[in-house]
Chains A and B, each alone.
Chain A
Amino acid sequence: DGGITQSPKYLFRKEGQNVTLSCEQNLNHDAMYWYRQDPGQGLRLIYYSQIVNDFQKGDIAEGYSVSREKKESFPLTVTSAQKNPTAFYLCASSSSGTSPYEQYFGPGTRLTVT
C-alpha cells in the first residue's frame, strides 16, 4: 500500500537535546512538507522540499533543520534552539507543479520535551 510513514509515534526528550523525526513516503511524490500542530491552532508549515537536495523554510523554521537526500525521505531535526518544541509533528507529501495538488499526511509524531 502507498502511503507516508512517520516514526516514532511518541518521542520524549530532555531539554537541550536534538531529536530527529523520520518521514518516508512511497507515493512517488516530488514535494514533501513538515508541519507543526498545537492545540487550538491550525497546522503551521516548518519546512518544505519540492525536489531532492533542495528545501525551503516555511513560516516557523527557527530551531528546526531538514535534509532531502532521497526522494522518499525527509527527516526533521528539532534542535535545542527551538524554544517550545513540545507539539504534534506532521509530515505530508504531494505531487508538484502549478495545479492545486492535495497533500497526503502521515500519522504524526508527538514530541514531548521536559
Chain B
Amino acid sequence: EDQVTQSPEALRLQEGESSSLNCSYTVSGLRGLFWYRQDPGKGPEFLFTLYSAGEEKEKERLKATLTKKESFLHITAPKPEDSATYLCAVQTLTDSWGKLQFGAGTQVVVTP
C-alpha cells in the first residue's frame, strides 16, 4: 500500500536556526512529489514539484531535495513569517489522472 509519512509532526525553531523536514514515501512508482505550505485556516499554497531522485529546487529560504525514498525541505535561517504547516504529497505512476496522496504535515513555529 502506498504511504506518505512526514516527520517531525511539529518543529519549534528560533529565528535563524536552520532545520529540515522529512517526507518519506513508499509507492509503487513516483510520478512527482509536491511540497505545499498551509497557513492556519487557509488553503495550501504550492511550493515545489520534484520529479526524479537528485533533483533540487529553491525558493527564498526553502530548498527541497529528493531521493528514491524521501524528500527533505530545508529551511535556512528561518523568519517568523515561515511559520506554517508544510505538506508533502506524491503522485504515483498508477494515478494518471492526478491523484495526490498527502502526508499529515509538519507544523513549524519560528519564534523571534
Contact = CB atoms under 8 A, between A and B. Distances in A.
Q: Do A and B bind each other?
A: yes
Contacts, number: 66
Interface in A32-48: 33, 40-45, 48
B46 A102 contact: yes
A63 interface: no
A96 B97 contact: yes
A75 interface: no
Given A42-B103, A100-B51, A102-B34, A90 B98 contact: no
Interface stretch (B13-21, B36-44, B55-63, B66-74): B36-44
A114 interface: no
Interface of B: 4, 31-32, 34, 36, 41-46, 49, 51, 87, 89, 91, 96-105
By Cβ-Cβ distance, the 5 closest A-B pairs, closest first, are A100-B32, A105-B43, A42-B102, A43-B102, A100-B31
Interface of A: 4, 6, 31, 33, 40-45, 48, 50, 56, 58, 88, 90, 92, 94, 96, 98-108, 110
